[in-house]
C-alpha cells in the first residue's frame, strides 16, 4: 500500500470543504502539505487549529496558468519534491443553458478543467521522478450530464477525459492517476455555485445535514489513493447512476430530469407545462 508518510501532498482549493478535509487527512497520515486558495486569509483560518509547521500556504487562482506554475515552483522550493497532487479546486453552477451567460461556462472550464491541466503540467516531472499520484476530484456530472449544470458537467467530463488519457500515457511509469466522484457532499461548492449571470448563488438547494461529510469524503479518497485505485465512485446512488446511464441511457434521461426537477427552486420548472 502506498504510504503518505513524509510524502509531499499538494491540494488546490483547500480553504474549505473537501479540499480542507483532504489536506487535514493528509496531515493525519504523515504528509507534508502545500495548499492553495484564492483567499489567503480564509486559507490560513481553515488551519488555525492545527500545527502548521508541515504546511506551505500559497495564494493562487488555478484558472491562471502563471499562478499554478508559481504554486508548484514554491512547493518544490520549500519541500524539494511533489509526490501527490490533489486537483480539488472547483466551482459549480445552477442555471439553464438558455439563460446562462457564456462567461459562466467559460469560468467553470477555466477553474475545473484548466486548473487541473495547469497544476498537473508543472507537477508532473517531480511526480514522475517519485512515482507518485495525480488525483482529480470530479463528480457524477463527469459521467452523466446534469440539467441546469451544463458548464459543470462539461468541465468534469473534460477533466475525466484528460486524466484517463494521461493515465494511459503513464501506464508503465509507476505513476498512478485517479479520479474520484463524491456523491452529494456537505461542502461549500453549492453555496458558491454560479447563477445564470455568474453571480454567487449564496445558498444550497440541498439539506446539507443529510449529506456525506467532507471529512468522510476525504478519508475515502485518501484510502483509494493509498490503494492506487483507478477511480472511486463513492455512493450507491452515484454507482447506480453510472450503471443505468451506461446501459439504459434513455431511462437515465428521465430519472435524472425527474430528480433535478424536484429540487427546491429548480430551473427546470421553466419548461414544465
Q: E-assigned strands of 44-97?
A: 55-59, 84-87
Q: Are 115 and 167 in contact (CB under 8 A)?
A: no
C-alpha cell at 246: 451506461
Q: Pick the catalytic residue: 2, 122, 152, 271?
A: 152
How many helices and strands in the chain, by DSSP H and E?
9, 9
Q: Are strands 133-137 and 185-186 parallel, antiparallel or unpaired?
A: unpaired
Let me know if 152 is a catalytic residue: yes
For residue 109, which of 92, 85, 133 has the smallest C-alpha distance?
A: 92
Q: What is the DSSP string of 88-124?
A: -----B---TTT--HHHHHHHIIIIIIHHHHHHHHHH
Rounded distance between C-alpha atoms, residue 144 and residue 157, angstroms: 8
| Residues designated catalytic | 152
Amino acid at each position: 500500500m502506498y504510504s503518505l508518510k513524509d510524502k509531499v501532498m499538494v491540494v488546490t482549493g483547500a480553504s474549505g470543504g473537501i479540499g480542507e478535509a483532504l489536506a487535514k487527512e493528509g496531515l493525519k497520515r504523515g504528509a507534508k502539505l502545500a495548499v492553495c486558495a484564492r483567499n489567503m486569509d480564509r486559507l490560513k483560518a481553515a488551519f488555525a487549529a492545527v500545527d502548521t509547521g508541515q504546511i506551505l500556504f500559497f495564494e493562487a487562482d488555478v484558472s491562471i496558468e502563471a499562478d499554478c506554475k508559481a504554486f508548484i515552483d514554491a512547493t518544490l522550493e520549500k519541500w524539494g519534491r511533489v509526490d501527490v497532487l490533489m486537483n480539488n479546486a472547483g466551482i459549480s453552477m445552477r442555471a439553464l443553458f438558455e439563460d446562462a451567460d457564456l462567461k459562466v461556462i467559460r469560468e467553470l472550464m477555466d477553474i475545473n478543467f484548466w486548473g487541473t491541466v495547469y497544476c498537473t503540467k508543472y507537477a508532473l516531472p517531480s511526480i514522475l521522478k517519485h512515482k507518485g499520484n495525480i488525483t482529480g476530484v470530479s463528480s457524477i456530472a463527469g459521467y452523466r450530464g446534469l440539467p441546469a449544470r451544463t458548464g459543470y458537467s462539461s468541465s468534469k467530463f473534460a477533466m475525466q477525459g484528460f486524466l484517463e488519457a494521461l493515465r494511459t500515457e503513464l501506464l508503465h511509469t509507476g505513476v498512478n492517476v485517479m479520479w474520484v466522484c463524491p456523491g452529494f457532499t456537505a461542502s461549500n461548492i453549492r453555496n458558491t455555485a454560479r447563477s445564470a449571470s455568474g453571480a454567487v448563488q449564496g445558498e444550497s438547494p440541498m439539506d446539507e445535514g443529510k449529506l456525506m461529510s467532507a471529512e468522510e469524503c476525504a478519508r475515502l479518497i485518501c484510502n483509494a489513493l493509498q490503494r492506487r485505485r483507478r477511480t472511486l465512485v463513492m455512493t450507491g446512488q452515484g454507482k447506480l447512476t453510472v450503471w443505468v446511464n451506461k446501459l439504459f441511457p434513455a431511462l437515465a434521461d428521465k430519472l435524472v430530469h425527474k430528480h433535478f426537477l424536484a429540487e427546491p427552486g429548480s430551473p427546470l420548472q421553466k419548461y414544465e407545462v
